[in-house]
Amino acid sequence: MSETPRHFIQQIIDADIASGKHQKIVTRFPPEPNGYLHIGHAKSICLNSGLATEFNGQFNLRMDDTNPTKEEIEYVDSIKEDVRWLGAEWNEHYYQASDYFDRMHADAIKLIKLGKAFVCYLSLEEMRLQKGDFKTPGKNSPTRDTNVEENLAAFEKMTRGEFDEGKAVLRAKIDMAATNEYLRDPVIYRIRKVEHHNTGNKWCVYPMYDFAHPLEDAYEGITHSICTLEFEKHRPFYDWVINTVNTPAKPQQIEFARLNITYTVLSKRKLLELVNEKHVSGWDDPRMPTISGLRRRGYSSSSIRKFCEVIGITKHNSLSDVALLEHAVRDDLNKTSPRFMAVLDPIKLVITNYPEGQTENLEAQNNPEDPAAGSRSIPFSKTLLIERDDFIEEAPKKYFRLTPGQEVRLRWAYYVTCTHCVKDATGKVTEVHCTYDPATKGGDSADGRKVKGTIHWVSAEQAGDVEVRLYDRLFMHENLNDLAEDDDWRKHLNPHSMQVIRGKVEPALLKLGQGSRVQFERTGYFCVDKESTSQKPIFNRTVSLKDSWAKQVVK
RNA sequence: AGUCCGAUGGUGUAACGGUAGCACAGGAAAUUUUGGUUUUCCUUGUCCAGGUUCGAAUCCUGGUCGGACUACCA
């Protein structure tokens, strides 16, 4: 009878609490530190930490670092930073799979002693051949029935480094005829003579994910081990490990659908390639769907959490419209970001009847959505800069901006009436001229006269110069999971995903620190880039404002 | 091909045998010192075929379509 609908995982937990199966729940987010976190991970982080919060349970952050050849400390650091930034609180519950290597090794020996694991000397290729396929059952390994003592000794030799890589593995002994291939005597330990970023050279045998993961969960007392759909078929082996090793805790694996977003790639491999092939400037390029990229782009963590809430949790694959993400950030930034005026494509506006050389300061509200945000003062003078497309000499119907004879409001300033424009030899408009009504100071007319249009401006003399980076979607193709095999996803990169321009801004904008999020009135939400300095201010466009006039024009 | 999983407007989701609802997107209007915001209204949906039932998105059967799986990766 709750107002908010409950997704299937919440329902499972509701039932587990009701039945007394668990008094307290424990969830975890277990990234492999081999890449940066992206918005798809955010979905999982919000889910797991959100459940822990909702049920007053515990949330663990755990590095799943069981493969020393792919993982790096750089990634560990970025993952922690991103999870923290998202607001998921792990408190003291930070763990690393590599911290459990001793216990896992002991549990592998336990399996050998139970007659449930054996050392196998088949080559990779031989093992593949003997595995069978959908139709045909696999063949038993020649060493499948080796006795416990020999297996123990052989595993000891593996552990001491007496075999070369690939010469021996430890396998679970289950059933080579199982319809689920993950039960056909899967490999649980392999030899890797590589330094591990955490355990150094202590080990040369490392556990496989399918063996390690259920144990990690059990060691930590995870009650609900939530993962993505592709692990569904691994669940029988997950349960086999838990039950055969007979761990005190019995975590339950639950799968949900991973996130897909239109015009976006969310595979670690492709993101890595975007970085390595220099299609973007790095993992935190503002066009990247990584957490660090979104953050640099100006997304707030609350907008990302909101997005994750809105898309829901299900068991079927779907493709979320990127507009949902953009809506979440606009909605948040509308309420929270202060407004400023910035002109991105300037053209001169001369107020012919305004006194030459005079400057006055005008008061502007910082955020109409939030009176508590206060106000600021903006310099005004005879020569202003306005947006080039806020003037059209021969305007279409319903055009509310400047055109000869039309009166508009300069935001927070005066009503002005356009008189004419000045053009250069090529016919390009170089100046717009107008007259102002001194009685409309502040942007209001005492006689009740209305204007349809309000435009933004900056005072030419006082305006600051800034670099503005206009970002657009990285890809032009809607569903990048749906390409033909011979179709390279790189061919769908948007060549105009970043446009760098010079803008003119009101002075107050120059005082902002890196990461500040603002709205440029009538244009969009922007934030101060991390490369921004007082000598060279840089603004990133997070997302444009909705523009119903632009839609009108298209029609 | 086999096994498993799934299918609700254009998109993402809710409804747990009893009025198909919400959000986004799209459209129309009102308000507006941002053609923003806000408000109101509108368009569009239960994969198909049978069955059970007074009643089916929901349960059953069979199809169709989609996804996952054939690593000493996670």
Question: Structural domain boundaries of chain A?
Answer: 24-256, 268-338+466-554, 342-456
Which 261-300 positions of A have CB less than 7 A from strand B?
none
Q: Do residues A537 and A467 make contact, with C-beta atoms less than 8 angstroms apart?
A: yes
Spatial contact of A529 and A300, defined as CB atoms under 8 Å apart: no
Where residue A555 falls among pLDDT bands split at 50, 70, 90? Answer: low
- In this prediction, residue A320 carries a pLDDT of 96
Compute CA distances A110 → A44, A171, A207, A299, whole Å: 33, 13, 14, 49
Name the CATH superfamily for A342-456: Ribosomal Protein L25; Chain P (2.40.240.10)
Nearest protein residue to nucleotide B21 (CA to C1' distance) is A5
Percent of chain A with pLDDT over 90: 93
pLDDT for res A1: 34
Cβ–Cβ < 8 Å for A58, A254: no
Task: Please list, in sequence order, all residues whose beta carbon lies within 8 angstroms of the beta carbon of residue A376, skipping any fewer than 6 positions away.
Answer: A363, A364, A366, A508
ipTM of the complex: 0.95
- A:475-514 Cβ neighbours of strand B under 7 Å: 482
Closest nucleotide to A189's CA, by C1' atom?
A: B72
Q: Answer yes or no: A326 catalytic.
A: no
On whether the CB atoms of residues A197 and A71 are closer than 8 A, the answer is yes
pLDDT score of A3 more than 70: no
CB A29 within 8 A of CB A226: no
Would you say A85 and A48 are in contact if contact means Cβ atoms under 8 Å apart?
no
pTM of the model: 0.95
Residue nearest to nucleotide B24 (CA to C1'): A324
If one looks up domain A268-338+466-554 in CATH, what number appears? 2.40.240.10
- The hierarchical CATH code for the domain A24-256 is 3.40.50.620
Question: Is A106 in contact with A73 (CB distance < 8 Å)?
Answer: no
**C-alpha pair distances (Å), A115 with each of A171, A246, A468, A540:** 11, 14, 66, 61
Give the pLDDT mean for A535-540: 97
Q: Is the dihedral of CA A189, A194, A196, A200 positive or negative?
A: positive
Report d(CA A324, CA A321) in Å as an integer: 6
- Which ranges of A114-258 would DSSP assign to H, the alpha helix? 124-130, 148-160, 209-219, 235-245
What's the Å distance between residue A340 CA and nucleotide B36 C1'? 13
Instruction: Decide whether A24-256 matches A342-456 in CATH topology.
Output: no
Task: Give the mean pLDDT of A76-101.
Answer: 97
Q: Does A437 contact strand B, using a CB cutoff of 7 Å?
A: no
Are A322 and A307 contacting, i.e. CB atoms less than 8 angstroms apart? no
SS3 A435: strand
Please state, in angstroms and rounded to a whole number, the distance separating the CA atoms of residues A400 and A398.
6
Give A63's Cβ-side CA count (13 Å radius). Answer: 28
Instruction: Say whether the CB atom of A136 is under 7 angstroms from strand B.
Output: no
pLDDT, tens digit (0-9, with 9 covering 90-100), for A353-382? 999 999 999 999 999 999 999 999 999 999
H runs (alpha helix) in A161-249 = 209-219, 235-245
Pairing mode, if any, of strands A94-96 and A224-228? Answer: unpaired
Give me the catalytic one of A80, A131, A192, A268.
Answer: A268
The tens digit of pLDDT for each residue in A260-304 reads 999 999 999 999 999 999 999 999 999 999 999 999 999 999 999
- Decide if A207 contacts A108 (C-beta within 8 A): yes
Report the distance from CA of residue A88 to the C1' of nucleotide B51 in Å, as an integer.
49
CB-facing half-sphere around the CA of A83: CA atoms within 13 A: 29
Distance CA A246, CA A240 (A): 9
For residue A288, give both structure tokens.
Answer: 């990247």
Asked if A223 and A120 count as a contact pair (C-beta separation under 8 A), the reply is: no
